[in-house]
Amino acid sequence: MWQSVLRSSWLVLVVMGAPLLGASSIGAPVQAQSWADIGNYSSLLRRAGTQTLVAKDCPSGLFGAFHTGRNVLLLCSNNLQDDPAQVWTVLAHESAHVMQHCQQGPLLPDHLIGSALAQIEKQSLSSFQELRLYHQSQRRDEIEARLVQGLPMAEVKALFRGFCGDRLRRLAPKNSAVEGLGDG
């Protein structure tokens, strides 16, 4: 499904907003095995120009957010458990919003949204139901982010390189290739 998306370039405005994940959405299978995995992926985001921050004073229930205008991804440590799997789920979800920002629009073509919804419902009925909490203008972005958060780390990294690869090449040091930066 994603391979066709990686070769496309739709220019649709990204809806700005900070997503609020429900607690039941965090129960995804382990995607990151260690804090080093999370650190490596965070480094990849930073190399593409996205600032990553950790806050200890987020409102209750907010696990993370992405601010499009400032290109800042925020993780809320006061609402997250000290668990790489939970942190990875939130990081992957928010990085999908970074990818939407890089893409300047949606990640999936319109005809695949129904399949994405079916996949989310199959993975987590509660996550599927929580999509109703979002305004219609944010729903598509959230569908894509919830789909990404359920993917294995290697696939999320590949998607990020596909959607934000031009930023990695543009911001890479002149004396090293992007692939040689040791980001796992």
114-135 residue pLDDT tens:
999 999 999 888 889 999 999 9
Is the pLDDT at 182 greater than 90? The verdict is no
Is the pLDDT at 22 greater than 90? The verdict is no
For the chain, give the percent of residues with pLDDT over 90. Answer: 63
Res 7: pLDDT: 29
Q: Which residues pair with 55 in a beta bridge?
A: 76
- Residue 94 CB partners (closer than 8 Å, separation 6+): 19, 64, 65, 66, 73, 74, 75, 145
Nearest to 54 by CA among 102, 28, 90: 90
Query: For residues 42 and 178, which has the higher predicted lDDT (pLDDT)?
Result: 42
| Predicted confidence band of residue 34 (pLDDT cuts 50, 70, 90) | confident
Question: The whole model's pTM is what?
Answer: 0.76
Is the pLDDT at 144 greater than 60? The verdict is yes
Res 24: pLDDT: 32
Res 77: pLDDT: 94
Q: What is the torsional sign of CA 82, 88, 93, 98?
A: positive
| Predicted confidence band of residue 180 (pLDDT cuts 50, 70, 90) | very low
Res 173: pLDDT: 63
| Predicted confidence band of residue 43 (pLDDT cuts 50, 70, 90) | very high
Res 117: pLDDT: 94
Contact, 112 vs 1, CB < 8 A?
yes
Per DSSP, the residues of 26-92 read: G-PPP---SHHHHHHHHHHHHHTT-EEEEES-PPTT--EEEETTTTEEEEETTTS-S-HHHHHHHHH
- d(CA 156, CA 149) in angstroms, rounded, equals 8
Res 31: pLDDT: 58
Is the pLDDT at 54 greater than 80? The verdict is yes
Residue 98: exposure state from Cβ atoms within 10 A (0-12, 13-18, ≥19): buried
The DSSP symbol for 151 reads: S
Per-residue buried b or exposed e for 125-148, using 16+ beta carbons within 10 Å of the residue's own CB:
eebbebbeebeeebbbbbbbbbbb
| Predicted confidence band of residue 177 (pLDDT cuts 50, 70, 90) | very low
The domain locations on the chain are 20-173
